[in-house]
Chain A
Amino acid sequence: MNPPDLITILISGGIGLVAIGAVGMAVSRHLLRLVLALAIAEAGANLLLVLAGYRWDAVAPILTGATVTRPMVDPVPQALVLTAIVIGVGVQALAVALLIRVKEAYGTLDIRELKTRVEQEICGAAGIAPPESANKPGGGQPYPVPVTTSRESA
């Protein structure tokens, strides 16, 4: 395989990772999965950024004192991507720390359930009746017991 094709593959890989992350964030219901999807998308963005300055025939941009005869890879995106990785790690750590607090407080990480609970709490604090759920069983029947699949709880 000749080099330019590899760059194309890498770029489509970067775009693909961002797309996988975006789809994951759109369809997941479990908060930890959302954080993981975010991490995947971030990896894709970082890959794209580092590819923005990559040259196949060049060496790493490290000055060793010896004269460099071959062209060097653009060092700017590499510096940027280091910063971006560090920021990403920090944000993900913060996210997971908050997830632990949320799990301790509500006992669930399902976003729909959390949304209803938070809505109820806000309405309760404001002293107004919580909104009628669209999924409320008719005829004054009680809510069914939530079914947790083994996949969701894992």
Chain B
Amino acid sequence: MNALALPVVLPLLAAFLVRPAGLASGSLARWFGPLVLLLCAGMLVDTALLTHGQPVSANIGGFAPPLGIVFYADSLALLFAIAVPAFALLLWPREAMQAGGDRISALMLLLVGSGTGMALSGDLFNLYVFYELLAVASFGLVASSGSARAWAATVRYLLISGFGSVLALVGVALIYAQTGTLNLAQLSEFAPERLANPLGLAAFACLLIGFGVKAELFPVNAWVPEVYATAPKRVSALLAGVVSKLAILVVLRLILLVFDLPEARQSLLVLGLIGLVSGELAAWRARDLPRMLAFSSIGQLGLLFMAVSIPGVLGLIAALAVALHHLLMKPALFLLAERWSGGLENLAGAGRKAPLAAGLFTLFALSLLGVPPLPGFWAKLVLLLGLGQQDAVLAQAAIFGVLLMAVVEAHYLFRLVGLLYAKTAHGAPPHRMGDLAVASLLGAILVASMPLLPALAQGLGWMAHQASDVAAYRAVTLGSTIPGVAP
């Protein structure tokens, strides 16, 4: 139980100890956060190795579910739980290492603690609380750049996010009134008879919009461009890369366990398609790189919502592939945008001064588009196969939309790649070594995954099978726990 609870508890505790530690010694405060995160990532990897990816659960405080809160860790949950501290380490803000950076350190630790909790928790209200904590930490991080425009952007983000939370709370109330429980495993038992009705669908819609705020879902994504343009680039990378995936993971769990209804899947498909089309068209019109990336992130997450809407194991594989691809891609692109944040025209010829950065950007652009040998191609292919399986007109329209938007994407990405290699002088400053190193690492992982594709596909398939096994989820969380990890 400790191995599952500590990666959530330690960062939350450490967040409040950073400042006292800063009073004792400046360097202690600087290294405290990264060390705690390293420890948490290590513990989670250790759990994954010990359990061989078999699902385990832990009862928090020794209270048995359904009354107590339960953490559930299958390979899917562990994968995202490890990604949170790992990416937080890679994207640790530079300001946090400077004098007076202990506040940002504390916010990052809060973000990691609540994010890991979101990946692991098996209780709906607990998920809501972690989600709120994550939201508050992200408000602070977005505002941490200290400019007036960042404050204004944060207010907008806070209001939209707050409205989403109200809706999520209404959804929780509706579910509780219908079923009398908030434990996901128990909800999966009651759902077919008590939630497969209009009231249940209303609850799903409320939860979807509520958790969709962080996942940049279509009607509640108005905060995205301003926030990504004004927040520190590493924070944008973390929000677009990791936090959005955690929100999607919650939606995925809800749809797998509780709301396995065709209407729910259809609404995901429609909202995802609108997000894809609006995001890509806006990215095509964008005139500076950060906002182009922000809009393209809306489009990519729309694609991800469409993947989640596909029923069965194939849909899960598609969702995992698109999610992991975007998880690698977006942080790296935001790191490259750190020094290329000016207008697109100002980037003309920037590739000649920074060949590595331009090469990486081209690689990521090709993978985003889905050019064959790169992983992005396979992710899109599985998605299209999943959509093609269905007979509905809507799915066919979605295939058409995905292909059409790939053309739009190709146009704006190639336009930028062409600009980068233009034969003109430019004034863009060189990238920082740290940013380039992290972007290269992510690029290397992307390239390395190409020869490993068969093994990777098998792993994803296995993970998808495990995640879609509702009976196992119930047995593990409500039944006995596996010795060794259990108390």
Contacts and interface: CB of A to CB of B under 8 A. Distances in A.
Contact of A105 (B132, B151, B167, B287): B151
Nearest to B172: A49
Nearest to A106: B148
B166 interface: yes
A127 B139 CA distance: 26
Interface in A11-50: 18, 21-22, 25, 31, 34-35, 38, 41-42, 44-46, 48-49
B166 A52 contact: no
A130 to B, nearest CB: 10
Given A91-B158, A94-B158, A128 B151 contact: no
A102 B148 contact: yes
Given A45-B169, A106-B152, A52 B176 contact: yes
A127 B172 contact: no
Interface string A46-58: 1011011100000
A18 B288 contact: no
Contact of B173 (A49, A90, A127): A49
A75 B288 CA distance: 53
A21 B170 CA distance: 13
B343 A53 contact: no
B143 interface: yes
A48 to B, nearest CB: 4
Interface string B130-149: 00100110010001000111
B149 A118 contact: yes
Nearest to A41: B166
Looking at chain A's contact residues, the main secondary structure is: helix
B129 interface: yes
A35 B229 CA distance: 23
Interface string A107-145: 000010010011001110111100000000000000000
B162 interface: yes
Contacts of A21: 166
A98 interface: yes
Contact of A83 (B129, B162, B287): B129
A71 to B, nearest CB: 14
A35 B159 contact: yes
Contacts, number: 126
Given A45-B169, A48-B170, A95 B148 contact: no
A53 B158 CA distance: 30
B362 interface: no
Looking at chain B's contact residues, the main secondary structure is: helix
A22 B163 contact: yes
Nearest to B162: A38
Given A21-B166, A122-B229, A128-B287, A77 B151 contact: no
B438 to A, nearest CB: 23
B166 A95 contact: no
Given A48-B173, A49-B176, A127 B343 contact: yes
B226 interface: yes
A95 B158 contact: yes
A72 interface: no
Contacts of A35: 159
B342 A126 contact: yes
A10 interface: no
A52 B139 contact: no
21 contacts: A38-B162, A44-B170, A45-B166, A49-B173, A76-B182, A83-B125, A91-B136, A91-B158, A95-B155, A98-B151, A101-B148, A102-B152, A106-B148, A118-B152, A118-B226, A121-B147, A122-B229, A122-B288, A126-B288, A126-B342, A127-B343
8 cross-chain pairs, A with B, having the tightest CB-CB distances, nearest first: A105-B148, A128-B343, A52-B177, A49-B173, A126-B288, A45-B169, A48-B173, A52-B176
Interface of A: 18, 21-22, 25, 31, 34-35, 38, 41-42, 44-46, 48-49, 51-53, 74, 76-77, 80, 83-84, 87, 90-91, 94-95, 98-99, 101-102, 105-106, 111, 114, 117-118, 121-123, 125-128
